[in-house]
Amino acid sequence: MTDFSVLITDDFKQLHIDMITGLLADTALTVPCELTFAGAKWTDCPNCLRLPSGKSANKYDSINGVIFFQQGICPYCSGEGQIPADPATTTIYMIPIWNPRDFLGKWGGVQAANQVVQTLSVVASFDDIKKARSVIIDTSVLNNYTRNVFIRDSEPNPAGLGNTAFIFTNWKRSQ
């Protein structure tokens, strides 16, 4: 039986961390990945004044308003006093790991992007990835090919050679 403690020394482990950290630098093998989070379902209308009940008073907000109206129903929120909230997003840098076999059809024809992708990222991104509803992996570095939306298919898993400095996450294409 091999004694791995002789082969895998603390120096070897540090070299491993340094090498993977280098690959994860913003200018190395990473691409920008936009994480989308589920936000509040509704936000206050910026165009009209609201009643204490939260409904629209159907009066133009002269300080924050964006679409002027004199009378009638607010054209921005249709008199509801609230509008659907845009989901919050943030961009982090990750290394997408694609399976090239998934790009080939049965007869060698090219298909759309594969159904699954795995990402490698720094452990500092764990909380953001855990909360993310979806990710869009920026493929503009690949001549602006389609940008597919992926949803998380597994928990982010810490990885490292006796260390948890990095995380792997599996994603599947949403359809």
Q: pLDDT tens digits, residue range 26-60?
A: 778 898 899 998 776 788 899 999 999 888 999 99
pTM of the complete model beyond 0.75: no
Which residue type sits at 29? Answer: L
Note whether 46 and 61 are within 8 A (CB). Answer: yes
Rg (C-alpha) for the chain, rounded Å, is 24
Note whether 24 and 95 are within 8 A (CB). Answer: yes
Note whether 156 and 129 are within 8 A (CB). Answer: yes
The DSSP letter of residue 88 is E
77: tokens are 């929120």
Domains of the chain: 4-39+87-173 (2.40.10), 41-85 (no CATH)
162: tokens are 């006796």
Note whether 134 and 153 are within 8 A (CB). Answer: no
- pLDDT per residue of the chain (175 residues) written in tens, 0 to 9: 677 777 788 888 888 888 888 888 877 889 889 999 877 678 889 999 999 988 899 999 999 888 888 888 888 888 888 887 877 889 999 998 877 565 555 445 555 455 688 999 999 999 999 999 899 887 665 544 556 788 999 899 988 777 788 999 999 887 6
